[in-house]
């Protein structure tokens, strides 16, 4: 996706696409439309325990959304560094669900494939999903092994002493715990996977007020997903 110059007040094509994806994700979040109410006070950034490790602060994320540069947010470290502690959401005087908004942005980045290869957060999530799909439950040892193989073997050896310590204290299981209803959960996952994220039409009128209405074409593209980068 090539970055185009934004005309003042006009979103570029790529921005429109990302915006469409983002706005339809926002609608699922109860109170997601409150993003409009941001007063740029910086409480989120000031409260965030990991903002020091971000390149764009949470407040900056809100500002960039308004300015029409979602791509810059997706290319930042910010969405991946968030530890889901929810302090920003709790303290935001405008009631913006900042953590859930960062989740939404993360999903779009994954959908569009915007992240470096060997990127730890993505691989951890991906392997976690695979474990759960396979066994119905998380299998810690399998997760650590697969995760470290994908992000660098050096880490695997660094983990070894800790894994050993947990093992001798009886805290590391070598056999995954499988649920009996694997067949049932596979059916549920398959059925849920077919559907795009739903949008309740009653809440969708705010789409127009932020300066952009999703076209059917864009919505279809979003639903199709896949790596378009």
Partner 1 sequence: MKYLYYPGCSLESQAQAYDVSLKTVLRLLGQELHEIPDWNCCGATAYMSVKETVAFSISARNLALAEKMGGEVIAPCSSCFTILTKTNRYLKAQPALKELVNQALKAGELEYNGNTTVRHPLDVLVNDVGVEVIKIFAKRDLNGLRIAPYYGCQLVRPERGFDDREFPTTMDDLFSELGGKIVYFPVKVRCCGGMLMSTFPEVGLKLTKEILECAYENQAEVIITTCPMCHINLEAYQKKINKRFKTNFRIPIWYFTQLLGWVLGATEEELGLKYNLINISKEKLSKTLEAV
Query: Of 9, 95, 116, 190, which lies in the binding site for partner 1, with binding defined by CB under 8 A?
Result: 190
114 in Cβ contact with 75 (< 8 Å) = yes
Q: What H or E segment, with its residue span, contains residue 129?
A: helix 120-135
Tokens of residue 171, six digits: 């805290």
- Within residues 43-62, the interface with partner 1 by CB under 8 A covers 49-50, 53
CA 49/CA 13 separation, integer angstroms: 35
CA 36/CA 66 separation, integer angstroms: 8
Q: Which is nearer to partner 1, 189 or 210 (CB)?
A: 189
- x-marked contacts with partner 1 along 84-123 as a string, rule CB under 8 A: xxxx-xx------x-x---x--xx--x---------xx--
- x-marked contacts with partner 1 along 130-169 as a string, rule CB under 8 A: --x---xxxxx---x--x--------------x--xx--x
Q: Work out whether 22 is an interface residue with partner 1 (CB under 8 A).
A: no
Tokens of residue 132, six digits: 């759960």
Q: Work out whether 39 is an interface residue with partner 1 (CB under 8 A).
A: no
The 10 Å Cβ neighbour count of residue 5 is 5
DSSP, collapsed to helix, strand or coil, labels residue 171 as coil
CA 69/CA 64 separation, integer angstroms: 5
Tokens of residue 126, six digits: 């991906």
Contact residues for partner 1 (CB under 8 A)? 25, 28, 30, 49-50, 53, 80-81, 83-87, 89-90, 97, 99, 103, 106-107, 110, 120-121, 124-126, 128-129, 132, 136-140, 144, 147, 162, 165-166, 169-173, 177, 179-181, 184-185, 187-193, 195-201
């Amino acid at each position: 996706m090539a970055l185009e110059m934004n005309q003042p007040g006009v979103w570029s094509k790529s921005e429109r696409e990302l915006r469409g994806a983002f706005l339809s994700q926002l609608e699922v979040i109860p109170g997601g439309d409150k993003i409009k109410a941001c007063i740029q006070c910086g409480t989120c950034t000031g409260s965030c325990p990991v903002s020091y490790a971000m390149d764009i602060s949470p407040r900056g994320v809100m500002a960039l959304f308004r300015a029409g540069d979602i791509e810059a947010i997706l290319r930042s470290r910010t969405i991946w560094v968030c530890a889901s502690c929810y302090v920003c959401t709790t303290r935001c005087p405008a009631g913006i669900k900042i953590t859930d908004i960062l989740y939404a942005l993360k999903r779009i980045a994954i959908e569009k494939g915007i992240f470096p290869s060997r990127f730890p957060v993505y691989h951890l999530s991906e392997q976690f999903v695979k474990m759960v799909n396979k066994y119905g439950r998380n299998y810690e040892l399998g997760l650590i092994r697969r995760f470290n193989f994908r992000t660098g073997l050096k880490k695997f050896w660094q983990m070894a002493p800790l894994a050993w310590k947990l093992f001798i204290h009886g805290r590391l299981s070598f056999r995954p715990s499988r649920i009996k209803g694997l067949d049932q959960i596979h059916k549920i996952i398959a059925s849920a996977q077919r559907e795009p994220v739903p949008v309740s039409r009653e809440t969708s009128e705010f789409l127009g007020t932020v300066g952009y209405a999703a076209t059917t074409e864009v919505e279809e593209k979003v639903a199709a997903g896949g790596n378009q980068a």
